[in-house]
Structure 1
Amino acid sequence: MSGLQAVVRRKLLRSFYYAFDLAVILAALVLAGLFYVHEYGGIVLGRYPEKLVLRESSVITASDGTVLRKIPLPESGYRVTAELEEMPDLLIDTFLAVEDRSFYLHHGLDYKGIARAILNNTAHFQVSEGGSTITQQLARNLFLNRDKNMLRKLNEASLALALEKRLSKHDILQLYLNQIYMGDSQHGVKAAAEHYFGISDLKKLDIMQIAALAAIPKGPSIYNPLGDSELPVKRRELVLGIMRQQGLITGEEMMAAVHEEYKPPAAVNNKTIGASYIDAALQEATRLTGKSREELQTGGYTIVTGMNRAAQSALEESFRNPDLFPPNGKDQQVEAAMVMIDHRTGEIVALTGGRNPVTGGLNRAVIDARQPGSAFKPIIVYGPVLESGFYTPESMLQDRQAAYGSYKPENLNGTYQGQMSMKQALQQSVNAPAVWLLQQVGISKAQKFAAKLGIELTQEDYNLSIALGGVHTGVSPLKMAQAYSVFASGGFFREAHMVRQIKDSKGRVLYSHHSNERQAISPLTAERMTGMLRSVVNEGTGKKACMNRPVAGKTGTTQLDLPGISSKANRDLWFVGYTPEWTAAVWMGFDRTDQNNYMTAGSGKAAALFSAVMSKALEGYK
């Protein structure tokens, strides 16, 4: 009997030791877990403080304040942040009633809710999202993925506790209401209010609209108001019931809201314009502010541009008309670019870098890559000699075939008159007088004059071929329009710009354009040049640029000059000109000009495009 008792006693002792060891292990695991929960959240918050600063969609507007583009965030959504004080109390109280009624009582975790969640999880043999407080939801959305496992729940709890230590309840709630996903690519209650109801001032939301917003977080894809099922309506009615139950609204207000029909905001014309313009404006804004493009796009900035929407629309509409362009090549489309400047202010009113511009695409309007041909003559030859005071439009110039060392320029038609007036030489775009005149005035003086118009030439351009537009690296339509704008404005240089103002997310002005205009050339030179350029349009090579208002301008053509290809084959077609209101430069050509892709049309095609765009764009001007 004593042997049996000894066996039983040993088994009991062994069981006790096993239980003790298990208890010690469990205690150690609990302590390790508590230590992990206590430490993990603080470490993560310390390592990624930028997560607490929400990215906000920046906005780019036209000159009249119309939104041209609301820039999506990297996660492909939109956010407009709002201070908690901008939100009505009913909105805040409703979200608290629906999402976390004990928000102001707990320190990040709702232990009663957690207990209920554990019971439910145990009963259903799964890990659910039950028991999450607003702080936990914020922690999950800012720092974690949506995996449903125990480690993620521990991390979430740890982060929630750390957030409560780091931030006030006010700041946590404000972050939550600005961060929460609200369906249809909208983040935060303000972005959702604008998107679903067309309301920017949150305090103008009515009871039904507040209930609709509070209904969304439970299932953003199925409960947002734009859903075509009954689910959004039923969820909204459930929220209204909670609002009534919590004493936030009366029974009468609840019934009125239940019967209020949701009406989406008036359809907005989502047709976007100005892809090239906006890209260039963002590039300009980065230069002006020193901020990266990503910072400008996600910092909630408002970038006000000088774009005239009517002008930009007229420009893009004309560029979609194939009849206004030369025939395409064998494997390429003829491309084009155009820039329009209000020379009275320097603002770029319209710009496109191609016939089918896309965001981030090649912007031919701002790249110095094309030879300007005879359109360069007023900048490098006739402007400098008029400024010298030794020549007038009536001065007689030499028109003879001549050699300047190895350089032997020729007139296109092969004929020479011996001499002709400066006005006639420009009007008919005759080459020999232009080269002779540049030699007379001197290349150095000519280059200094061009610099006053915004075109800096290099040492490689120190030769007489620049008289005919032989610029080493080429020029952009933007620089050509800038240069001619000085003639158009009576000799004043006003820097061409797109950005008028930049404001931060709080409405504070970060940058505002201030004109530093200067008298670059004499008013007399500008007046005489305008007179000669008007004769080019009225009687010379630029006749196709004629409009129902005075036009001054100059054509430009560069030849292909490839062996075995017709001498009529052209590489670049230009027209640069101005009306009393605006200056514009047009370029046409192929991205890669070769034996299969070249133009036989002349620069009259560019002049005609100038006329088509400017006529339509200026319809509203008397």
Structure 2
Amino acid sequence: MSHLLRTSRLFAWLFLTGFSLATIVASGFYLYLRPGLPPVDQLLDIKLQTPLRVYSADDRLIAEFGEKRRAPVTIEQIPTIQLHAFLAAEDARFYEHFGVDFKGLMRAAIELVSTGEIQSGGSTITMQVAKNYFLSRDRTFIRKFNEILLALQIERELDKDRILELYLNKIYLGNRAYGIAAAAQVYYDKSVAELSLAQMAMLAGLPKAPSAYNPLADPARAKIRRNWILGRMRDLGYITPDAYELASAAPLTASFNAASTEVDADYVAEMARADMVRRFGDAAYTDGYSVQLTVDSEKQREATVALRKGLEEYDRRHGFRGPIGQVGEDELAPDNLDNLMANYPQVAELVPAVVTNVRDQDGEVDLHARGLGESVMAFSTMTWAKRYKTENLTGPEPEKPSDVVAPGDIVYVKPMVIMTPEQQTGENTEDSENEGERRVAEIPDVRRVALSQVPRVQGALISLDAKTGAIEALAGGYSFSQNKYNRATQAKRQPGSTFKPFLYLSALEQGMTPATIYNDAPIVFDDSELETTWRPQNSSGQFYGPTRLREALYRSRNLVSVRLLRDLGVQNTIDYLDQLQIPTEDMQKDLSLSLGSGLLTPMDLARGFAVIANGGYDVDPYLVSSITDVNDKKVFEAPEVILCDSNCERVQEEINEEDRNARVARRLADERSVYILHSMMRDVIRLGTGRRALALGRDDISGKTGTTNEQRDTWFGGFNHDIATTVWVGFDQPQPLGRREFGASTALPAWLDYMEVALEGQPSSLMARPNGIVNIRIDPETGKRARPGQEGAMFELFKEEDAPPLLPPQDESGGGSENSEDGGLSRQIF
């Protein structure tokens, strides 16, 4: 008995000694590690890494930036059954333990011994929160001890629901999806509330091993994991046996669903991204900002479509440049075609395809297109493909498919929209050139495509709210994926005749009138500053004699513009451009400036036209309308724009004193001069080089075409009182577009297509007529005031002080002198 007692005492002492040593060691670790543990209240301030999202003015998603897909949700937004699925998979005793579940640890140990792997895991959800938010993923004893200490601390300071919410928003679930809401979108393209029981269990199985149990990477293994979780939910009483049977038998429905953008606006998205990084640095990608832009989704969509269409039409006019690649017939094995196409990128809507067979007798070509598979191309979609030789010369029109392509050729094609029989028999009012692309009989199981090619020519389209400067649409090139260079804001090009409205506005400000006569006649300059003899010409090569400024503008007479600038003075004109806030650092300081030889970006020109459109007020283009943070708190809002005619500095001071979010747009040009210029530029549409814009059927459109020497740059800028839109077309490396290419044939069609949508349903918007304007009948040949009853006389607009004087009696009777003392500028010939 004494021996047993001694043995018992020995074991007791050994246990107490071991327990004491363990307590001392644990206490030592605690005392050592405790000062370095982060305070739990940091959890409430931690910003989940949520991507930057960019939206249009009408709340359409344009882009998402950031490495982690995340959409934080509150626990109230998550269905209870989804919570149960995660608890069953990760921590069934979550609402019972105090942060560390010793029963769970024992169960995990038993699973490891009996099955060779751990199904349910040993860490509690609270421990995982501690690890995910505060600790590294190193597998060390120190890290695990820190995890346990933090879990205990978290449990003391936060309630269970808050801990579970933090876990479900932070956990990584594969495919860059962080948090349950992002995973629901990525795998099922649904919100959390829309998931089925089987889908909920599938998501709950991902935290343990997002790669191994991923339904996209290993469907069979993912299904086993899903059904195990469903069984746990049944055993725990979360679901009924019947629900288990139905869910476990459900097929896998997961697929990859990236955040679907709703607007094709990559150039705009990149501008917004750069702006956000400038404001917030790298935090822009992770802090969950949402940016609302000024662009309208419908207008932006049409801007992209219109510019691409215009560039494609130019490209077709100049012929087919041939295949982008060729392969031997031995490489055309069906199982090799997808690999071949993988080497060629899709560009916008154009997809690469390899020709597998040419059937001249059927007028068709068989192809294998990337992402489309077997396709058929009708010869009617290839008739445009004359062989390109130079920008001015093409080969003969093809007569059969083999004149264009051969087996092994790799070309770009555009998928076609198959029309219904009703559409095919309906009236077709469009040009017959593209008829083959539109009216194609539907062939079951065969994809119809049309021959295309990626344009070498480029362009830009910018549309501004004329009064506020808000960018309503912007396209910086044919395809952002092809080239990220944003020509709308970065390409400095010669504006050609689209510069002339600023020159004519300067003339109106200095007392000239639409009736001022200038001689459209040959002129030669031997100027040392020009380093050569300069003989400017009209685009037609002809000369038209005395011409009123109104007619000179709408007919774009170059020689009148040269003489006008000479009289105004180059430096005076540069100073006036500075007043209009038009960049002059790249402007020629000689008479070639009159023909638009300086350099402006399309945005510069669009802004200048917006100043004219709104009646002469300053315009500051902007893209970002507002910015909200992850908590939906507005951190930036674009200021209201207030048009100001006088004492603008004082008005701005008053606004600042009232702490109003507003910007004063001061007047830059006399409203009467601008009003008269509007009238002159409407004649560009009615009578001049912009007549194609009459197709809009509106009376409020003003505009100006522009074409530089050798047709290297072509432009059209047009507006009404509300909206100003500019289009540029040219090559990135300046070169001639072709003898028959002008602003009216390259840029204006894209402008027209866009404005048809932008102005649809909008009432006519004309600048209100200001005081101090008079209408006077003039002789169109001389610009003088017309005699009573004179045939052919016409009304012209004048500022009151610049109106032509009354004719003296002798003039009315046919006498008088051309050089009479009271003759004004409106009667002189320059």
Q: Is this a same-fold pair by TM over 0.5?
A: yes
C-alpha contact 1:144 1:156 (8 A) present in aligned 2: no
Rounded to whole Å, the distance in 2 between the matches of 1:604 and 1:181 is: 55
Q: After superposition, where does 1:27-38 map in structure 2 within 5 Å?
A: none
Q: Which letter maps to 2:561?
A: A
Query: What residue is the counterpart of 2:86 in the other structure?
Result: 95
Instruction: Provide the residue aligned with 1:214 in structure 2.
Output: 204
- Find 1:554's aligned residue among 704, 715, 730: 704
Contact map agreement 2:727 2:748 (CA 8 A) in 1 = no
Q: Return closer, same or farther for 1:128/1:264 CA change in 2, 3 Å cut-off.
A: closer
Unaligned runs of 5+ in 2: 1-16, 322-389, 392-453, 644-666, 763-830
TM-superposed CA distance for 1:229, in Å, is 4.9
Q: Partner amino acid for 2:681? A: L
In structure 1, the residue corresponding to 2:514 is in which secondary structure?
coil
Find the residue that maps to 1:516 and give its secondary structure: strand
Deviations 1:521-566 (A, max 9, x none): 333323222222222233323334442234322122232xxxxxxx
- Cα–Cα, structure 1 residues 572 and 28, in superposed 2: closer, same or farther, change >3 Å? farther
2:471 maps to which residue?
A: 348
Corresponding residue to 2:725 among 577, 580, 584: 584
Whole-Å Cα distance in 1 between the matches of residues 755 and 621 of structure 2? 22
Query: Offset of 1:469 from its aligned partner?
Result: 1.9
Gapped regions of structure 1 (runs ≥ 5): 1-22, 560-568
Say whether the 8 Å CA contact 1:541–1:604 is kept in structure 2: yes
Aligned position for 2:354: none
Alignment length (residue pairs): 572
Q: Do the aligned partners of 1:307 and 1:348 also contact (CA within 8 Å) in 2?
A: yes
1:291 equivalent in structure 2? 280
Give the alignment partner of residue 446 of structure 1, picking from 573, 577, 580: 573
Equivalent residues of 2:47, 2:287 under 8 A apart: no
Which of the residues 512, 515, 525 maps onto 1:394?
A: 515
Whole-angstrom CA distance in 1 between matches of 2:687 and 2:232: 80
CA deviation digits over 1:227-248, x for unaligned, max 9? Answer: 8957666655543443444344
In the alignment, the residues of structure 2 paired with residue 487 and residue 210 of structure 1 have an alpha-carbon distance, to the nearest angstrom, of 59
Contact 2:61 2:263 in 1 (8 A): no
User: How many percent of aligned residue pairs carry the same amino acid?
Assistant: 27
Residue 185 (structure 1) aligned with residue 144 (structure 2): no
- Please, which moves more after superposition, 91-100 or 28-37? 28-37
Mapped pair 1:378 → 2:501:
yes
Equivalent residue number for residue 593 of structure 2: 466
Partner residue in 1 for 2:431: none
Distance change (3 Å), C-alpha of 1:30 and 1:398: farther
For 2:190 and 2:737, locate their aligned partners in 1 and report how far apart those are by CA, in whole Å. Answer: 53
Contact 1:341/1:348 (8 A) holds in 2: yes
Cα pair 1:537 1:543 within 8 Å, conserved: yes
User: Do the aligned residues in 2 keep the contact of 1:453 with 1:482 (CA within 8 Å)?
Assistant: no
* SS of residue paired to 1:333: coil
The residue identity in structure 1 corresponding to 2:63 is R
1:175 match:
166
The whole-number CA distance in structure 1 between the counterparts of 2:51 and 2:265 is 18
In the aligned structure 1, how far is the partner of 2:590 from the partner of 2:38?
Answer: 63
In structure 1, what residue type is equivalent to 2:675? E
- Give the C-alpha shift of residue 503 in structure 1: 1.4
Q: Name the TM-score, length of structure 2 as normaliser.
A: 0.59
Residue 457 (structure 2) aligns with: 334
More deviation, 411-420/474-483: 411-420
- Mapped contact 1:337–1:364 kept (Cα < 8 A): yes
Greater helix proportion: 1
CA separation of 1:205/1:357 partners in 2, compared to 1, >3 Å: closer, same or farther? closer
Residue identity opposite 1:61 in structure 2 = Y
Q: In the alignment, is residue 246 of structure 1 matched against residue 396 of structure 2?
A: no
Q: Which amino acid aligns with 2:473?
A: A
Q: Which residue of 1 aligns with 2:124?
A: 133
Residues 439, 39 of structure 1: CA spacing in aligned structure 2 closer, same or farther, 3 A cutoff? farther
2:289 counterpart of 1:301: yes
**Partners of 1:547 and 1:615 within 8 A in 2:** no
Q: Which residue of 2 aligns with 1:574?
A: 715
Query: Within 2, Cα distance between the matches of 1:575 and 1:505?
Result: 42
The reply on whether 1:64 has 2:185 as its aligned counterpart is no
Q: Classify the secondary structure of the residue corresponding to 2:640.
A: coil
Quick check: 1:434 aligned with 2:561? Answer: yes
Tell me by how many angstroms 1:603 deviates: 2.5
452 and 280 in structure 1: CA distance in 2 versus 1, 3 angstrom threshold: farther
Structure 1's 547 and 341: CA in aligned 2 closer, same or farther, altered over 3 A?
farther
- Per the alignment, residue 563 of structure 1 pairs with none
8 Å contact kept, 1:136–1:157: no
Distance 1:132 1:359 in 2: 48
Residue 663 of structure 2 aligns with which residue? none
Q: For the Cα contact (< 8 Å) 1:494–1:516, is it kept in 2?
A: no
2:314 to 321, 324, 329: 324
SS of structure 1 residue aligned to 2:471: strand
- Confirm or deny that 1:362 pairs with 2:503: no
In structure 2, distance between residues paired with 1:133 and 1:115: 12
Matched with 2:48 is 54
Separation in structure 2 between the aligned mates of residue 362 and residue 369 of structure 1, nearest angstrom: 12
Report Cα offsets for 1:229-270 as digits up to 9, x if no partner.
Answer: 576666555434434443445667767867888888999976
Paired position in structure 1 for 2:750? 610
After superposition, give the CA deviation of every residue in 1:261-310 in whole Å (9 maximum; x if it has no partner): 888899997675111011123334455xx222x32232212211222223
CA shift at 1:433, angstroms? 2.4
TM-superposed CA distance for 1:362, in Å, is 0.8
Q: Is the 8 A contact 2:307 2:475 kept in 1?
A: no
1:491 alignment partner, SS class:
coil
| 540-549 or 334-343, which deviates more | 540-549
Find the aligned partners of 1:432 and 1:31 in 2 and give their Cα distance.
Answer: 99
| 1:393-432 deviation line (CA, Å, top 9, x unaligned) | 1211344525466446543245545532111221222223
Contact 1:276 1:359 in 2 (8 A): no
Structure 1 pair 506–142 and aligned structure 2 pair: CA distance change class (3 A): closer
CA contact (8 A) 1:182 1:217 kept: yes
What is the TM-score with the length of structure 1 in the denominator? 0.77
- The Cα of 1:225 is off from its aligned counterpart by 7.2
How many angstroms apart in 2 are the aligned matches of 1:515 and 1:359?
37
Cα distance change on mapping 1:308 and 1:221 into 2, 3 Å: same
Please tell me the residue identity of whatever aligns with 1:475.
L
Q: Judge conservation of contact 1:41–1:159 (CA < 8 Å) in 2.
A: no
Q: 1-side partners of 2:270 and 2:587: how far apart?
A: 31
- 2:693, 2:202 → 1: CA distance? 57
Question: In the TM superposition, what is the alpha-carbon distance from 1:178 to its structure 2 partner?
Answer: 0.9
Within a 5 Å distance, the mapping from 1:479-558 to structure 2 comes to 479-518=604-643, 519-550=667-698, 551-558=701-708
Q: Which AA in structure 2 matches 1:610?
A: A
User: 2:107 & 2:576 partners in 1: Cα distance?
Assistant: 82
Contact 1:340 1:481 in 2 (8 A): yes
The secondary structure found in structure 2 opposite 1:320 is helix
Q: List per-residue Cα deviations over 1:113-139 (Å, max 9, x = no partner).
A: 445556666789999994222244345
- Decide whether the 8 Å contact of 1:574 with 1:587 is kept in 2: yes
